[in-house]
Structure 1
Amino acid sequence: MAPPVAKGTAAWRYFGDFRDVLLAGQVLVLQVAHPVVAAGVRDHSAYTEDPWTRLMRTGASLSIYVYGGAAGARVEAARLRELHRAFTGVAGGRRYSALDPGAYAWVHATLVMAPVDAQRFFGRPLSTSELNEYYAQMTGIGRILGVRERDLPPDWTAFEEYYAGMVADFGPNETITTLLDTIHTVGKPARWLPDRWWPPLQRYQARAQLFLLRATLPPEFRARLGLQWTRRDQLRFARFARLTRFSGALVPPPLRTAHMRWVGKLNVWLRDHPWAYRFLT
């Protein structure tokens, strides 16, 4: 069993960095680019009706693995595997399962890569030693989740090759199209937000989400999806990345992950106190 992630190590510093949220759209598109994940999301996910709740639950779950301690991670991993055990169906004339080893490993792989990409775009790229430490920690978390050793490469260099090879095989699919459409039609994220405020905010969030998605997807995959990217777009993104990098540097490192550490510990406490968990959820 993998040891808990120690304070100050690479996964502790980078997995919950607040800038990671800028790649949320990219991660989801890359996940559903896998045909098994696409079929499972199409048949069993309510993301088109309530993507905000799904996003919050995903973030809460992720926080436990790094910041919730080894015991909390094991409990959450068992819960997720039991939940996904029922996600089965038929796609393209073949039966699928959400626990398909290759698809399950790919979902974890996208979560491994996202913080590295976030630092490359919006922070300071990880050094070779940091990448090696980070990858070892994240493969350990993968073992807790049930990702088989043979389904992910043994080191970071081999992982990069695996990741690029997977992306090279992906193309457009129905679930990606629905996901991109949902960005334009998503309802307001909170009941307290006045109805009249949401239409302009919705248009802004759609433009921002699609811009970041186009900016951060692997270029060849972006082109296969038919998403345009111009020199002007690249200049705008470079300015945005510089601003984000500068503002992020002003935040003390412990505060960059404080929200995820707090959520991780809170979720472990809630799972140990079912009455509170039922009350809040």
Structure 2
Amino acid sequence: MAPPVVRGTAAWRYFGDFRDLLLAGQILVLQVAHPIVAAGVRDHSDYTEDPWTRLMRTGASLSIYVYGGSDGARYEAERLRKLHRKFTGFTGGRRYSALHPGAYAWVHATLVMAPVDAQRFFGRPMSTSELDEYYAQMCDVGRLLGVRAQDLPSSWPEFEQYYRETISSFGPNETISTLFETIRTVRKPWSGLPDSWWRRIQKGHARVQMFLIRATLPTELRARLGLEWTARDERCFARFRRAVRLIGFAVPPALRTAHMRWVGRLNVWLRAHPRAYRFLARR
């Protein structure tokens, strides 16, 4: 049995690291590359209309089930399962459910892998013992969320193989194309932001996001999606990685996850004070 996610353990140190945010685009692409997830997002998600709210809700959810304590994690797990039961439809002439065991496990798998990739790209790769502890802890989180034990491999090496084999079946789809278009045309997060300012910010934001997606996606999937990657891009990414690595090493380890831990505690408090939660949600 894995140790609980408390200060000093692998999941506590790595899951909420600020460098994980650099892989947000990669995670979304990998999730919607799964056919069932793609259909669910296409039919039920409002991220194209309000991506900023969707991003904040996702961050809040992640913070709770890792940093919100056992009670907070159980509450969030029950909320997510209840929410996803409503997401059903048809794709390819067959009925699907957002709680399809394989698809549900895959979404969790992408969140498990992201901090490992973030450390590999932008920090210090996790040691074998850290990976073993981290993976065991994240399997416990997955089971709490309703991922069946048989849908996640029992060890980290087996998980890596499962991850590679799953990605090998992915290719282009309509939802990935919509995601890329949303990144390029995303609306401003605040209505008071002048349009002239946002046009500049939007263009830079799209360029950075698409660069990071191209840089961090598995090579084979990047090629199947038709995303170009040049030697010049590789050199640019190497310089970027060195800069982020230096910044990360300058930040004390406890502060690297402080934002996610703070959001986790805040959201647990809000769940215990529903009036305050409803007020902020309306705002």
Give the TM-score normalised by structure 2: 0.98
In structure 2, the residue matched to 1:75 is 75
Mapped pair 1:182 → 2:182: yes
1:20-39 per-position Cα deviation (integer Å, ceiling 9, x unaligned): 00000000000000000000
Q: What amino acid is aligned across from residue 202 of structure 1 in structure 2?
A: Q
In structure 1, the residue matched to 2:137 is 137
In structure 2, the residue matched to 1:152 is 152
Q: What amino acid is aligned across from residue 265 of structure 2 in structure 1?
A: K
Q: Contact 1:123–1:245 (CA<8 Å) still a contact in 2?
A: yes
Aligned-partner Cα distance in 1 for 2:137–2:204: 37
Question: Which runs of structure 2 are paired with 1:32-181 in the superposition (5 Å)?
Answer: 32-181=32-181
Structure 2 unaligned blocks of 5 or more: none
In structure 1, the residue matched to 2:240 is 240
Secondary structure of the corresponding residue to residue 147 of structure 2:
coil
Aligned-partner Cα distance in 2 for 1:230–1:5: 40
Q: What amino acid is aligned across from residue 5 of structure 1 in structure 2?
A: V
1:34-63 per-position Cα deviation (integer Å, ceiling 9, x unaligned): 000000000000111111111111001000
Aligned-partner Cα distance in 2 for 1:2–1:256: 23
Q: What amino acid is aligned across from residue 9 of structure 1 in structure 2?
A: T
Aligned-partner Cα distance in 1 for 2:170–2:190: 34
In structure 2, the residue matched to 1:23 is 23
Q: Contact 1:2–1:141 (CA<8 Å) still a contact in 2?
A: no
Aligned-partner Cα distance in 2 for 1:2–1:54: 31
Aligned-partner Cα distance in 1 for 2:2–2:266: 22
Aligned-partner Cα distance in 2 for 1:117–1:91: 31
Q: Contact 1:2–1:144 (CA<8 Å) still a contact in 2?
A: no
The structural deviation recorded for 1:192 is: 3.3
Structure 1 unaligned blocks of 5 or more: none
Aligned-partner Cα distance in 2 for 1:9–1:190: 38
Aligned-partner Cα distance in 2 for 1:76–1:146: 11
Q: What amino acid is aligned across from residue 208 of structure 1 in structure 2?
A: V
Secondary structure of the corresponding residue to residue 95 of structure 1:
strand
In structure 2, the residue matched to 1:231 is 231
Gap change, CA 1:248 and 1:203, over 3 Å in 2: same
1:108-140 per-position Cα deviation (integer Å, ceiling 9, x unaligned): 000000000000000000000000000000000
In structure 1, the residue matched to 2:264 is 264
1:185-214 per-position Cα deviation (integer Å, ceiling 9, x unaligned): 100112332222100100000000000000
Taking only aligned residues, the RMSD between alpha carbons, in angstroms, comes to: 1.0
Runs of 4+ in structure 1 over 4 Å off:
none
* Matched residue count: 281
1:58-112 per-position Cα deviation (integer Å, ceiling 9, x unaligned): 0010001111001100000100110010000000000000000000000000000
Q: Contact 1:3–1:70 (CA<8 Å) still a contact in 2?
A: no
Gap change, CA 1:53 and 1:2, over 3 Å in 2: farther
In structure 2, the residue matched to 1:12 is 12
The structural deviation recorded for 1:270 is: 0.2
The structural deviation recorded for 1:2 is: 7.4
Q: What amino acid is aligned across from residue 140 of structure 1 in structure 2?
A: D
The structural deviation recorded for 1:3 is: 6.3
Aligned-partner Cα distance in 2 for 1:192–1:218: 38
Aligned-partner Cα distance in 1 for 2:104–2:267: 23
Q: Contact 2:135–2:155 (CA<8 Å) still a contact in 1?
A: yes
Aligned-partner Cα distance in 2 for 1:176–1:224: 12
In structure 2, the residue matched to 1:192 is 192
1:204-258 per-position Cα deviation (integer Å, ceiling 9, x unaligned): 0000000000000000000000000000000000000000000110000010000
Q: Contact 2:271–2:277 (CA<8 Å) still a contact in 1?
A: yes
Secondary structure of the corresponding residue to residue 49 of structure 1:
coil
Q: What amino acid is aligned across from residue 14 of structure 1 in structure 2?
A: Y
Gap change, CA 1:125 and 1:2, over 3 Å in 2: closer
Secondary structure of the corresponding residue to residue 159 of structure 2:
helix
